[in-house]
């Protein structure tokens, strides 16, 4: 009988406990499918006494995950600590130095250090596997890296953060404001006590940087991801979006353009008929465009113990079979540096919401600011009249340049009759 694959698990939070539970409950299925058992030989976590719903009596315990990473009997170190620096980074580096394969769910670590970790692993003939780092249980990394290996991918975009998708879905379906829905999301456990990492788009940006590297065969380039969160999206925006035929989603978008590769995370209005518009709640979705396969859509749960553990164990099974590919699809030394396309070069349509004093000449001033930047308006909406009072005004544009749009908004926002900063949401015609 083939010797078992021995693993050491660093981090026993929701995902770590889920991995141990899955390995125990599915042991026979795993052995049947990869020809050997996967055996947990060591673990590390902050608290030994916590009940995690799994039997840890036969495994070796480490208080220090870095020491765990050099465990002499482990073939693979599973890093589930999180964070781009500190213990997580040191644990992974120590594991690779000790000749251990690494499986991780740590998108922040990969976004900041993925290229160098890939180079170190590949120089030693080791795997760094990270299916669980992006979109939870959705097999998007394998889908891009292996399933679409014969394609040149021109675009990948998607809903990469379930917390934001839940908040935006609730705002649309209940009509409540952002702050109220966020508070409920925190009570339900969908949002952290400090939700900024999610709602400001950073989590989605980490994932997008990793997806971009896999999709385009480039070094991970988190520093050139444009990031904008959802704090400024209001219930009023959902009313207008519905009237205009759109849904509002926080999307990560990576695309090849004539200027280079653009990477951006921000709220988008997408047509109601677009497949991604129907993905609601805590679900994630990723769409990839390949030259031979055309468009493929992946949908599923993007977080949680079960889905994320499923992705971790799938990577462990690949290692158990002796089947693994270069970390980002091509050898690290062959990742091709790509010119980043600046956000200012983005071209597309825009939705703009203004609060203006209802008096003669204001709309003409807005139109003049748009005209001076060669921005063409497509639709203009003002509901009701309130002479002398502030009223919402909404406009949409034809395709135009981001830099021109920003200049026009700066001019409009400086006008005395505009009583709040202009709110802009980009329109994507998927």
Task: Output the pLDDT for position 344.
Answer: 95
Q: What DSSP state is assigned to residue 340?
A: B
Say if residue 248's pLDDT is above 70.
yes
In angstroms, the CA 342 to CA 403 distance is 10
- Write out the residue range of the structural domain in which residue 86 sits: 5-137
Kindly state whether residue 106 falls inside one of the protein's structural domains: yes
**Summary mean pLDDT of the chain:** 94
Q: What is the mean pLDDT of residues 250-268?
A: 97
Kindly state whether residue 27 falls inside one of the protein's structural domains: yes
How many Cα atoms sit within 13 Å of 240 on the Cβ side?
25
Q: What DSSP state is assigned to residue 418?
A: B
Q: What is the mean pLDDT of residues 238-261?
A: 96
Domain boundary among 137, 162, 195: 137
| Beta bridge mates, 159 | 285
Answer left, alpha or beta for residue 318, where phi above 0 means left and psi between -120 and 50 means alpha: alpha
Nearest CA to 100 out of 110, 91, 108 is that of 91
The answer to whether residues 270 and 277 touch, using CB atoms and an 8 Å cutoff, is yes
Q: What is the mean pLDDT of residues 55-76?
A: 92
One domain, residues 92 and 213: no
Kindly state whether residue 311 falls inside one of the protein's structural domains: no
Domain boundary among 137, 170, 204: 137
Kindly state whether residue 112 falls inside one of the protein's structural domains: yes
Kindly state whether residue 336 falls inside one of the protein's structural domains: no
Task: Output the pLDDT for position 382.
Answer: 84
What CATH number is attached to the domain comprising 39?
3.40.50.720
pLDDT 10s digits, 281-328? 999 999 999 999 999 999 999 888 999 999 999 999 999 999 888 999
What CATH number is attached to the domain comprising 384?
3.30.70.260
Percentage, residues of the chain above pLDDT 70: 100
The answer to whether residues 310 and 22 touch, using CB atoms and an 8 Å cutoff, is yes
- Dihedral angle, C-alpha 166, 171, 177, 180, nearest 10 °: -40
One domain, residues 218 and 265: yes
pLDDT 10s digits, 349-365? 999 999 999 888 999 99
What CATH number is attached to the domain comprising 253?
3.30.360.10
pLDDT band with cut points at 50, 70 and 90 for residue 1: low
One domain, residues 116 and 167: no
pLDDT 10s digits, 399-430? 999 999 999 999 999 999 999 999 999 999 98
Distances (CA, A) of 300 to 64, 135, 280, 417: 34, 8, 10, 46
Say if residue 134's pLDDT is above 90.
yes
Kindly state whether residue 307 falls inside one of the protein's structural domains: no
Task: Output the pLDDT for position 139.
Answer: 96
Kindly state whether residue 316 falls inside one of the protein's structural domains: no
Say if residue 46's pLDDT is above 90.
no
One domain, residues 268 and 360: no
Kindly state whether residue 116 falls inside one of the protein's structural domains: yes
Query: Residue 255: which residues within 8 A CB-CB, separation 6 or more?
Result: 154, 155, 156, 157, 261, 262, 341
**How many structural domains does the chain have?**
3
One domain, residues 292 and 144: yes
Q: What does the block give as tokens for 270? A: 């997408």
Tokens 């890093």 -> residue: 79
Q: What is the mean pLDDT of residues 21-36?
A: 94
Nearest CA to 306 out of 83, 80, 132, 45 is that of 132
> Could you list the active site residues?
207
Better-scored residue on pLDDT, 188 or 285: 285
Domain boundary among 137, 155, 170: 137
Task: Output the pLDDT for position 50.
Answer: 80
Task: Output the pLDDT for position 312.
Answer: 97
């Amino acid at each position: 009988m083939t010797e078992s694959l021995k693993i050491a698990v660093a981090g026993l939070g929701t995902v770590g406990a889920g991995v141990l539970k899955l390995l125990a409950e599915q042991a026979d299925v795993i052995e049947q499918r990869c020809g050997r058992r996967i055996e947990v030989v060591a673990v590390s976590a902050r608290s030994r006494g916590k009940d995690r719903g799994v039997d840890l009596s036969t495994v070796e315990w480490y208080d220090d995950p870095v020491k765990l990473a050099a465990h002499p009997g482990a073939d693979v170190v599973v890093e589930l600590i999180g964070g781009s620096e500190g213990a997580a980074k040191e644990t992974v580096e120590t594991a690779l130095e000790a000749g251990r394969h690494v499986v991780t769910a740590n998108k922040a670590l990969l976004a900041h250090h993925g290229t160098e970790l890939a180079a170190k692993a590949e120089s030693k003939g080791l795997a760094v596997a990270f299916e669980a780092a992006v979109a939870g249980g959705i097999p998007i990394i394998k889908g891009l890296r292996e399933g679409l290996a014969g394609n040149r991918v021109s675009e990948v975009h998607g809903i990469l953060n379930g917390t934001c998708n839940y908040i935006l879905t609730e705002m649309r379906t209940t009509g409540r404001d952002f702050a109220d829905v966020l508070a409920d999301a925190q009570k339900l456990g969908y949002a952290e006590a400090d939700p900024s990492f999610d709602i400001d788009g950073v989590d989605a940006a980490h994932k997008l940087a990793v997806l971009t590297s896999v999709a385009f065969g480039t070094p991970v380039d988190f520093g050139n991801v444009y990031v904008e969160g959802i704090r400024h999206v209001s219930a009023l925006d959902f009313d207008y979006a519905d009237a205009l035929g759109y849904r509002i989603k926080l999307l990560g978008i990576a695309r090849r353009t004539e200027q280079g590769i653009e990477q951006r995370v921000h709220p988008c209005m997408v047509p109601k008929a677009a497949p991604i518009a129907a993905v609601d709640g805590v679900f994630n979705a990723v769409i990839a465009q390949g030259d031979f396969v055309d468009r493929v859509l992946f949908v599923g749960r993007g977080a949680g113990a079960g889905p994320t553990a499923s992705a971790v164990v799938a990577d462990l099974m690949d290692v158990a079979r002796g089947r693994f590919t270069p970390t980002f699809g091509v050898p690290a030394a062959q990742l091709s540096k790509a010119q980043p396309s600046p956000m200012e070069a983005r071209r597309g349509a825009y939705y703009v919401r203004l609060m203006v004093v209802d008096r003669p000449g204001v709309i003409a001033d807005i139109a003049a600011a748009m005209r001076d930047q060669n921005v063409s308006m497509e639709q203009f909406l003002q509901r009701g009249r309130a002479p002398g009072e502030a009223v919402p005004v909404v406009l949409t544009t034809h395709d135009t340049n981001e830099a021109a749009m920003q200049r026009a908004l700066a001019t409009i926002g400086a006008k005395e009759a505009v009583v709040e900063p202009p709110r802009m949401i980009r329109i994507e015609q998927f």
